């Protein structure tokens, strides 16, 4: 069987491509603005990527066309598929029909932490010799791929609330039919498809409605927005995780000060050793431990597995240390995630913490976070915003005090030049973007190496 994937380099659709290839299908696809790491992963797997959506690239001999949610009407290939009545399907629906319907699905949903938590969960199961399948929206350092079929009933998936396709406006995660469901947190995001937080809560409730009664829902007790979702109705067992504090009834409670996790059901306390710092990583780990426990992995084994968890690419990832200057790559693009990441890295910084940020997501472009974005960077000593000319609002609104430590640039080369001239040993530089950021990572790395 030959499938043609539209939007093949997206984190989710690249995973679809890898799984289809592993199942023995012939896979080819198209995308625009191709960049690593997904493009590299596909090329290494021998999957053909055709640059752009011209009809000249469309392989009409394919048996099925799998459509990514970034595709819309007006796209040349979409119009050709519709006009010629070629068979098409969404990525999530293809995944369920061809793979998930016979598996024990462990899904990780939430505004933040999906990639890290699902990566931790997949690794715990792997460490426990359960050989899970998985599809994760990033590359974990413990695996050499973002997706694989696995050799057991267990399949871990990062469950995104974004819409499914131009012809299916339900959230992607309703297609996955999870038996184990993690609800990490919930905030307003994806303003291009959701009008309000209540709209997102409704989609999360739709997901809850399909978890079987013998399944398990794992929820963050700290998150006040998840409680109304549960109150709409939940027909499955619930376990929770949260911070260790007075009157905390969580199944697992984290004490961030001494890196302990308390099992309030088994009345035991464990040391939690993680490669990446921060309370949010500890909470992610707690969710992964509970999900793995539902699959039969004892907490003690999960704790041991996490000691060997090496983190995820583009999540607090150290990409270079040059003359005492540490360069990080991070995917954070929401004020909450930005704040949490900077607060986690600050204690490790002996010099200055320098944040370099590209507001690239659709929600950022719309200005939804305009009032909260500036404060998210308070922990940083210097902030460098890149104005990519794609915003519907004025970044200068975040710079009203004209602070020397808060600057806006319209040219990536200017950012690099500024950093090269001012960075010193002990500084931590964290580049934040959910895209390629014009290749700034390697450009800055090279410039720093050439400084001397």
Whether 271 maps to a domain, the answer reads yes
How much is the pLDDT for 403?
Answer: 60
Q: Which CATH number characterizes residue 368's domain?
A: 3.90.190.20
User: Token pair for residue 130?
Assistant: 């359960």
State what percent of residues in the chain have pLDDT above 90. 65
Strand, helix or coil for residue 119: helix
Strand, helix or coil for residue 377: helix
Residues 378, 440 share a domain: yes
Whether 393 maps to a domain, the answer reads yes
How much is the pLDDT for 402?
Answer: 43
Q: Tokens 């704790």 — which residue?
A: 303
Q: CA 349 from chain center: how many Å?
A: 25
| pLDDT at position 60 over 60 | yes
User: Token pair for residue 198?
Assistant: 């209540």
Based on its alpha-carbon atoms, the radius of gyration of the chain, rounded to whole angstroms, reads 22
Whether 312 maps to a domain, the answer reads no
Quote the CA–CA distance of 104 and 106 in Å, as a whole number. 7
The answer to whether the beta carbons of residues 452 and 323 sit under 8 Å apart is yes
The answer to whether the beta carbons of residues 293 and 299 sit under 8 Å apart is yes
DSSP category for residue 157: E
Q: Work out the pLDDT band at 247, boundaries 50, 70, 90.
A: low
The tens digit of pLDDT for each residue in 276-319 reads: 888 889 999 999 999 999 999 999 999 999 999 998 888 888 98
Q: Which CATH number characterizes residue 256's domain?
A: 3.40.1190.10
Q: Which CATH number characterizes residue 47's domain?
A: 3.40.50.720
- Work out whether the CA dihedral 394, 399, 401, 404 comes out positive or negative: negative
| pLDDT at position 22 over 50 | yes
How much is the pLDDT for 21?
Answer: 96
Quote the CA–CA distance of 185 and 116 in Å, as a whole number. 13
Q: What is the mean pLDDT of residues 168-197?
A: 91
Please give the mean pLDDT across all residues of the chain. Answer: 91
Quote the CA–CA distance of 34 and 48 in Å, as a whole number. 12
State what percent of residues in the chain have pLDDT above 70. 97
Q: CA 98 from chain center: how many Å?
A: 24
Query: What secondary structure does DSSP assign to 260-309, as a single string?
Result: EEEETTTTEEEE---SS-SHHHHHHHHHHHHHHHHTT--HHHHHHHHTT-
Whether 32 maps to a domain, the answer reads yes
| pLDDT at position 41 over 90 | no
How much is the pLDDT for 317?
Answer: 87
Q: Work out the pLDDT band at 351, boundaries 50, 70, 90.
A: very high
Quote the CA–CA distance of 14 and 5 in Å, as a whole number. 9
Residues 362, 325 share a domain: yes
Q: Where are the beta strands (DSSP E) in 11-162?
A: 26-31, 48-51, 64-67, 88-90, 104-109, 133-135, 147-148, 154-158
Residues 180, 42 share a domain: no
The answer to whether the beta carbons of residues 313 and 141 sit under 8 Å apart is yes
How much is the pLDDT for 300?
Answer: 96
How much is the pLDDT for 222?
Answer: 87
Domain finish residue from 306, 329, 364: 306
Whether 311 maps to a domain, the answer reads no
Compute the C-alpha angle 304/305/306, nearest 5°. 95
The tens digit of pLDDT for each residue in 42-54 reads: 988 889 999 999 9
The least confident of 116-125, 188-197, 211-220, 280-289 is: 188-197
User: Which pTM does this prediction carry?
Assistant: 0.86
In total, how many domains does the chain have?
Answer: 3
Residues 145, 290 share a domain: yes
The tens digit of pLDDT for each residue in 385-420 reads: 998 877 777 777 775 444 668 888 999 999 999 999
Name the more confident of 245 and 101. 101
Single out the residue of 337, 334, 347 nearest to residue 117, CA to CA.
Answer: 337
């Amino acid at each position: 069987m030959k499938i043609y994937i539209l939007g093949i380099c997206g984190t989710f659709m690249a995973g679809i491509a890898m799984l289809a290839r592993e199942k023995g299908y012939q896979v080819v696809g198209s995308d625009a603005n191709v960049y690593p790491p997904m493009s590299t992963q596909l090329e290494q797997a021998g999957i053909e990527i055709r640059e752009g959506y011209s009809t000249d690239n469309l392989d009409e001999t394919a048996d099925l066309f799998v459509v990514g949610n970034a595709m819309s009407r007006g796209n040349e290939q979409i119009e050709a598929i519709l006009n010629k009545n070629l068979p098409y399907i969404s990525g999530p629906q293809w995944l369920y029909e061809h793979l998930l319907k016979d598996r024990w699905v462990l899904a990780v949903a939430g505004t933040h932490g999906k990639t890290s938590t699902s990566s931790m969960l997949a690794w715990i199961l792997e460490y426990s010799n359960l050989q899970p399948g998985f599809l994760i929206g990033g590359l974990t350092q413990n695996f050499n791929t973002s997706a694989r079929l696995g050799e057991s009933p267990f399949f871990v998936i990062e469950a995104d609330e974004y819409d499914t396709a131009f012809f299916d406006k339900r959230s992607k995660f309703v297609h996955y039919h999870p038996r184990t469901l993690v609800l990490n947190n919930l905030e307003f995001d994806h303003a291009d498809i959701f009008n309000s937080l209540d709209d997102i809560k409704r989609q999360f409730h739709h997901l809850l409605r399909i978890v079987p009664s013998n399944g398990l829902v794992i929820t963050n007790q700290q998150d006040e927005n998840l409680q109304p979702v549960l109150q709409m109705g939940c027909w499955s067992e619930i376990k929770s995780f949260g911070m260790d504090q007075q009157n905390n009834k969580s199944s697992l409670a984290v004490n961030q000060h001494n890196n302990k996790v308390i099992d309030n059901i088994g009345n035991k306390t464990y040391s939690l050793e993680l490669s990446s710092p921060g309370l949010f990583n500890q909470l992610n780990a707690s969710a992964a431990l509970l999900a793995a426990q539902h699959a039969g992995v004892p907490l003690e084994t999960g704790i041991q597995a996490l000691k060997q968890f090496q983190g995820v690419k583009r999540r607090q990832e150290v990409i270079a240390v040059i003359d005492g200057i540490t360069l990080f790559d991070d995917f954070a693009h929401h004020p909450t995630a930005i704040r949490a990441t900077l607060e986690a890295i600050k204690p490790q910084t002996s010099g200055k913490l320098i944040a370099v940020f590209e507001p690239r997501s659709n929600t950022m472009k719309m200005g939804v976070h305009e009032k909260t974005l500036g404060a998210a960077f308070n922990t940083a000593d210097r902030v460098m915003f890149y104005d990519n000319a794609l915003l519907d609002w004025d970044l200068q609104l975040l710079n009203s005090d004209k602070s020397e430590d808060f600057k806006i640039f319209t040219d990536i080369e200017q950012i690099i030049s500024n950093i090269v001239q001012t960075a010193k040993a002990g500084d931590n530089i964290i580049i934040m973007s959910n895209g390629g950021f014009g290749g700034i990572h390697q450009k800055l790395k090279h410039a720093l190496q050439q400084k001397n």
